[in-house]
A and B are shown apart, each in its own frame.
Chain A
Amino acid sequence: MTDTAAPLLSTRSLTMLFGGVVAVDAVDFSLAPGELRCLIGPNGAGKSTFFKMLSGQYVPTAGEITFRSRSIAGSAPHEIARLGIGIKTQVPNVFNGLDVHENIWLAARRRNSPSTARRIARDILERIRLSHRSMVPVGHLSHGQRQWVEIGMVLAGDPELVLLDEPAAGMTDEETRLTAELIREINASRALIIVEHDIQFIRMIADKVTVFHQGGILMEDKADTVLKDQRVRDVYLGKKEYA
């Protein structure tokens, strides 16, 4: 995690337009191997769009994305997933009609034999504390549990880089605490980028924080510095002077 190491992920002038709306505006971003980065910013700042370009769901209008020294901008989602980026999207994105075990098994099966995938699924079910509900269709679970299933699916794919878009949204305090714990566990061996609104949650996990505002990066620094910054406070309070 020194500054001289080649970044795991970097973007150059990454831009996404929707008609006339500039959702992401020439973003230069860099993530070191093993890093845990929080991405914050008000609604509509472009965080989810940024994630969707990283994971291949959107083809960038312009700019570069480099992951493990490979250019991935515009690659198909399954190609990017195979290179080692796993994502939990903001809107729960799971197999609602299939049971919890099947969801995790399918995620693990991509890189493993059926029996190894079964073993991985069992381990992950324990980590996300859903072993007792393994046969329940995911659509019947609570919102927080569905989020965990999705995080579990990301883990089962064992990606180099984990993207979590608002993992604690709609969770109870206890669930949020467990999620923070889970994230620290993941960070022991994997890099993560986490989009989150909840300042409490960010204090629990954050090291370095990037602030998005109107499609661009407003600032980037240690969590304490960022959360004390007047511009960031203004943005969160909806003031316009830095627009």
Chain B
Amino acid sequence: MAVKTAAQLTALILAVVAIAAAPMLLDLFDLIELTLFASMAVLALSLGFIWGFGGILSFGQTAFFGLGGYAYAVAAINFGDSTPAILLAIALPAAFAALLGYFTFYGRVSDVYFSVITLTVTLILFNVVNSTAGDEYRIGDAALGGFNGMPAVPTFNMPFDPAAVLEPEASWYVAAGTLVAVYVLLRLLLASSFGRIAVAVKENEVRASLLGYDPRLIKLIVFVIGGAVAGLAGALYVNWGAFVNPTIFGLALSAQIIIWVTIGGLGTLIGPVVGCILVQYIVSRIGTQQTFNANLILGAVLIGFVLLLPRGLMPTLQHIATQAGSRLAYMFSRDNAGRAIADRPAGAE
């Protein structure tokens, strides 16, 4: 246990050092690409958390991502300051998740229908936002712009200081820092009583309720946290491109998040992050050449993973590491035992 915690802390410190050093080691183009990866990895964490630890498979995590993105864009245009806009990008999707979760979990909707409902809600949001072309669809100073989306969205500034707009390096620190912070917060949450109860509900809802826990409430809270994190990712994404359009609600992205989590490993937090960055890296590499279709290769990669590493990348690596670790420990203990016998003076007993 202590060894594991130490290893995790070391990994965390290494990650922070790498994030801090990245602007000095990479050219601007790569750094901007990594900023996008980090933003999307926050989105991956949101699904990895609710699916892997709450047992909630949402086909519509992009609903919250999109709401977060649009909430940020509208608020940033109106307020001229990104600070309240980011908070709104968290609060609005969380509130929407609370509403949707209340009706589905308390309405005892089955898992399959839940997934279908989240998918449908995402489609509805896509269509609604897509049809807001025309000048009558504006919120304050912000015209929603229909399928064209909203160009020239103000990007992040220093808290409460709209004049101090962040440079790309600073945006990288914000995106990567958010990723690390969300990861650590979710880790701590999972280690808390609430997190352990949430995992218990995922394991066996009936047993959890017979112990006196209300599974509906637990799942609702998990879902709302997931919605808040996805919304935050939406704000990061809009900040990255200074632009938002309805594809942010798209089914293609919804499916991709599920692929990230599946490849990286369900039931871990690091898996979705690794899966997300790996897939995006592959897609961006293929994108630069025209020989192969990106979706085709992505599909092949997914099938390969499902067949060869059904548990996903990170759980498999962890399994190998623990196996190797216990083998080493075994060899070591045998070694010690041998020495202990040899060390004992003859006739000591």
Interface, chain A (partner B; CB < 8 A): 55-57, 76-78, 81-82, 86-87, 89, 93-98, 102, 105-107, 109-111, 114, 153, 157
- Whether a CB of chain A sits under 8 angstroms from the CB of B140 is no
Whether A76 contacts B211 in the complex (CB less than 8 A), given A98-B199, A109-B197, comes out as no
Contact status of A97 and B206, CB under 8 A, knowing A107-B211, A110-B213: no
Q: Is the CB of B193 within 8 A of A97?
A: no
In contact, A77 and B203 (Cβ under 8 angstroms): no
Task: Enumerate chain B residues within 8 angstroms of A102, measured Cβ to Cβ.
Answer: 196, 200
A81 near B203: Cβ-Cβ < 8 Å: no
Of chain B, the residue at the smallest CB distance from A157 is B211
Contact with A along B176-204 (1 / 0, CB 8 A): 00000000000000000100110110011
Given A106-B197, A110-B213, A114-B193: A97 in contact with B207 (beta carbons within 8 A): no
Query: How many angstroms from the CA of A76 to the CA of B214 in the assembled complex?
Result: 9
Q: List, sorted by A's number, 20 A–B pairs whose CB atoms are closer than 8 Å.
A: A55-B210, A57-B206, A57-B210, A76-B214, A78-B208, A82-B212, A86-B210, A89-B210, A94-B204, A95-B204, A96-B203, A96-B204, A98-B200, A106-B196, A106-B208, A109-B193, A110-B212, A114-B193, A153-B207, A157-B211
CB <8 Å contact, B206 and A77: yes
Contact partner of B210 (CB less than 8 A), chosen from A81, A96, A98, is A81
Contact between chains at A110 and B210 (CB < 8 Å): no
Is A93 within 8 A of B204, CB to CB? Answer: yes
| B209 CB–A CB distance under 8 Å | yes
Which partner residue on chain B sits nearest A98 by CB separation? B203
User: Given the interface contacts A106-B196, A106-B200, A109-B197, does A81 sit within 8 Å of B211 by beta carbon?
Assistant: yes
Chain B, Cβ-Cβ closest to A92: B207
What's the A-B contact tally at a CB cutoff of 8 Å? 63
Per CB-CB distance, the 3 closest pairs between chain A and chain B, nearest first, are A81-B212, A77-B209, A95-B203
- Whether A77 lies near B200 (C-beta < 8 A) is no
A214 to B203, CA, bound (A): 34
A93 to B193, CA, bound (A): 21
Assembled-state Cα–Cα distance A95/B209 (Å): 12
Contact A93 B212 (CB under 8 A): no
Question: Taking each of B196, B209, B212, which has the highest tally of chain A beta carbons within 10 Å of its own beta carbon?
Answer: B212
- Report whether A93 and B210 are in contact in the complex, using a CB–CB cutoff of 8 Å: yes
B209 touches A76 (CB 8 A): yes
- Determine the chain A residues whose CB is within 8 A of the CB of B193 once the complex forms: 109, 114
CB < 8 Å: which of A76, A82, A95, A110 contacts B207? A95
A106–B206 CA distance with the chains assembled, in angstroms: 14
Question: Please, which residues of chain A bring their CB within 8 A of the CB of B207?
Answer: 93-95, 153
Cross-chain contact A78 with B214 (CB below 8 angstroms): yes
Instruction: Name the A residues within 8 Å of B212 (CB-CB).
Output: 78, 81-82, 110-111, 157
Residue among A81, A86, A94, A96 facing the most chain B CB atoms (10 A cut-off): A81
B213 and A97 form a contact (CB under 8 A): no
Residues in B200-243 with C-beta less than 8 Å from chain A:
200, 203-204, 206-215
- Name the B residues within 8 Å of A94 (CB-CB): 204, 207
Contact in complex: A153, B214 (CB < 8 Å) = no
Q: Is the CB of B200 within 8 A of A87?
A: no
Shortest CB distance A18–B (Å): 18
State in angstroms the CA–CA spacing of A50 and B203 once bound together.
25
